[in-house]
Amino acid sequence: MQQHAPPNFRLTVLNPGGHDVAQDFPDGAGETALPHPPTNFHAYASCTHGSFQRETTDALARDTPVLLLLRGDFSASERALETLQKAGRFVAVSLKETGLHQIANQLQNSARLARFVRIVQKADACLAPTPEAADLCRASRGDRRAAFIPTPYPIDDPRWNFSRPIEQRSGIFIGTREWDVPSRNHLAALIAARRLSESTGEHVTVFDCEGRKGARLLAELGFVPGKLRVLHKKLAYPDYLRELARHRIVLQLDTSFVPGQVAGDALLCRVPCAGGNGAIDRLAFPETCGFARSIAEIEQLASRLLSDREYYSEMVAAMVPVASKSLSFEVVAKQLAEFFGT
């Protein structure tokens, strides 16, 4: 028999011992100056007007179902699970880092792997922001009480619309910045961007916070003088979105099967994203994402977005209608309510 969640469903996300401060989301996505933006796992709490906590006692005080994040060696998460279940809470669990390379790094230790399997089997359910992580949990549990629900983006909240008029956009924004993670393919993205810059005349913007090492690597790529713009300092999230929104496209070649924050950021700015095989990439940008596409194919799509005005306008116009079917706060909040209410 199904037990449906009430219409005033709230979710508490618990990251035991994490660094993010406790945060309530009474106003949903809220204003853009929030301590932590309504993205990633915070978005699950935000879209349900719930809360994000780091202490188990604070999660208990909310008297709601809990999404428990598994981090570190999982020991704090296991203790939190035991405490919450003793108090009668319904607890779903999720790995906090869900890229395939991150999962592999976390579970290559036998003791940690054993603890992960034990937690997943004890939990009431598993929730994952990628289909691949959901499959892992499903296999570890031996049942189908594991679901993929993408992390939502507040595309249905006008306060989080960072778009600019198309005529005010120019350039290629590189969505990756990690040189030392092979599956990010950061170097390949920069090489593709250089070729696109040479053929279209567009400038390229990249964040690089690695000091001399990053500067030396960028210098070897052979960009036309004046066509590579390097930003060295991290920006507050709203300022970062305003920077991204100035560009015509976002380019990445990430093959990590991550939740897809780069694509989500592009979505808030209504800027087409070329490349990337994350969950949000596949849902929001099915025609230009990197899933099942070669680098050459992604480069061709990026070139068309930069040179074909009609095609670009069509992609921008279709972006929110396509993404709203699976990524809006309203849609994901309903999915979470149904999942926790079953």
Both structure tokens of 295: 């680098």
pLDDT tens digits along 306-341:
999 999 999 999 999 999 999 999 999 999 999 998
Domain contains 336: no
Domain contains 335: no
In the sheet that holds 66-70, the strands lie side by side as: 23-24, 51-53, 12-14, 66-70, 91-95, 125-128, 146-148
In this predicted structure, what is the pLDDT of residue 181? Answer: 96
- 243/104 same-domain check: no
Domain contains 153: no
In this predicted structure, what is the pLDDT of residue 37? Answer: 95
Q: Of 121, 141, 130, 78, which Cα lies nearest the Cα of 103?
A: 130
Q: Which of 118, 148, 178 is the last residue of a domain?
A: 148
- 91/220 same-domain check: no
- 141/168 same-domain check: no
Domain contains 332: no
- 204/309 same-domain check: yes
Coil, helix or strand for 250? strand
Domain contains 5: no
- 91/223 same-domain check: no
In this predicted structure, what is the pLDDT of residue 4? Answer: 38
In this predicted structure, what is the pLDDT of residue 6? Answer: 47
Please list the ranges in the chain whose pLDDT falls under 50: 1-6
Q: How many C-beta neighbours within 10 Å does residue 156 have?
A: 19
In this predicted structure, what is the pLDDT of residue 5? Answer: 41
- 232/143 same-domain check: no
- 31/53 same-domain check: yes
Range of the domain at 41: 12-148
Quote the CA–CA distance of 255 and 246 in Å, as a whole number.
Answer: 25
Q: Which helix (H) or strand (E) holds 316?
A: helix 309-327
Q: Of 227, 231, 219, 217, which Cα lies nearest the Cα of 195?
A: 227
DSSP 152-212: P--TT-GGG-----GGG--SEEE----TT-GGG-HHHHHHHHHHHHHHH---EEEE--SHH
- 165/138 same-domain check: no
- 77/132 same-domain check: yes
- 142/211 same-domain check: no
Q: Of 259, 295, 297, which Cα lies nearest the Cα of 279?
A: 259
Q: Do β-strands 172-174 and 91-95 pair in parallel, antiparallel, or remain unpaired? A: unpaired
Sequence letter at residue 212? R
- 198/281 same-domain check: yes
Domain contains 141: yes
Residue 24 CB partners (closer than 8 Å, separation 6+)? 50, 51
Question: Which residue do the tokens 């909040």 mark?
Answer: 333
Q: 155, 323 in Cβ contact below 8 A?
A: yes
Residues in the chain: 342
**CATH number of the CATH domain containing 296:** 3.40.50.2000
Both structure tokens of 55: 């202490």
Instruction: Work out how many domains the chain is built from and give that number.
Output: 2
Sequence letter at residue 198? E
- 118/250 same-domain check: no
Domain contains 337: no
Per-residue burial over 122-145, b if 16 or more Cβ lie within 10 Å, else e, is ebbbbbbbbebbbebbbebbeeeb
Whole-prediction pTM = 0.95
Q: How many C-beta neighbours within 10 Å does residue 46 have?
A: 33
Domain contains 93: yes
